[in-house]
Amino acid sequence: MRADARDNRDRILRAAREAYCAHGIDVPLTAIARRAGVGVATLYRRFPTRAALVSEAFAEQLTVCAAVLDDALADPDAWRGFRSMVEKVCAMQAADRGFTAAFLARFPGDPAFERARESAEARLTELVRRAKATGRLRPDFEIVDLMLLFRAIAGLVDESPALTLASSRRLVAYLLQAFESGRHAPLPPPAPLDLRRIALPAALSEHVREAAPVHLEPLDG
C-alpha cells in the first residue's frame, strides 16, 4: 500500500472510531469521510461496505474483549473471573458507545468478524458454566441475563462519559450481587432474547443488512 493510501486508511479508521464512540455505529459514512478529510469515493474504495468499516474499526476492541474473556477463564477462581469479566466488559461498553452495537451485530459480509464474535460467545458460555460449578453463581442464571445487563448499560450512554461510567459501575455492582447464589426468590422464566438483536439502534437495522458493496458515481478523492 502506498504511503498516501495508508495514511487515508488510518485517518478513516481513526475518524470512524471517534464517531462511533461518540454517537454509535449508525453515523452516516459521509460524516465519517468528512471527519477524516477524504472524499466519499476514497472511503468506499478502502471500505466498500459499512460492515467492513465497522469490523475494521473495532478489531482492536474485539481483541481486547477476547483477552478479557481469556483472563477470566484463566483465573483459578471461576466466580472471581466471572465478576471481573462483567466489570471490565461493562466498563468498555460505557466508555465506547459503538462497541456493543458492533459486537452484537451480525455482519454476513465479514466472516472473520463473525468468527471472532462467535468465539467470544463460546468462551462466555464456558465461563458461566464454570462459575455455576463453583456454587457462587446462582443456578438459575442464564446467558440472557447478561444480555439484559448489556441492554441496561446501553441505555445509560446518553449521559456524559463520567456519569455513564459512574452509573454503570453502580448498576453492575447491584446486579452482581443479584447474580450470586443466596436466598433468592425464584425468577420468572428467561425471555428468549437473541444475542444479535440487543442494543442495536433502530436506524442500524437497515445498515446491518447492507452486505453488498455500494456503488457510487466517481468523485474526487
Which DSSP string do the residues of 93-129 spell out, in sequence order? HHH-HHHHHHHHS--TT-HHHHHHHHHHHHHHHHHHH
CATH fold for domain 3-48: Arc Repressor Mutant, subunit A (1.10.10)
Q: Specify whether the CB–CB gap between 166 and 72 falls below 8 A.
A: no
Q: Which pLDDT score, from 0 to 100, does residue 221 have?
A: 38
Position 208 scores a pLDDT of: 33
Instruction: Give the pLDDT score at 214.
Output: 36
pLDDT at 110: 67
pLDDT of residue 134: 95
Q: Residue 48's pLDDT is what?
A: 87
The answer to whether residues 30 and 40 touch, using CB atoms and an 8 Å cutoff, is yes
- Over the chain (221 residues), the average pLDDT of each successive run of 10 is 81 89 82 93 89 82 85 97 93 76 61 78 92 95 87 75 86 93 77 50 34 36 38
- Kindly list the domain boundaries of the chain, sorted by start residue: 3-48, 57-204
| Distances from the Cα of 136 to the Cα of 73, 79, 126, 172, 197, angstroms | 15, 6, 15, 17, 29
Residue 146 confidence (pLDDT) = 87
**Long-range Cβ contact pairs of 206-210 (< 8 A, separation 24 or more):** 207/25, 207/26, 207/50, 208/51, 208/105, 208/106, 208/107, 210/49, 210/50, 210/51
**pLDDT at position 211:** 33
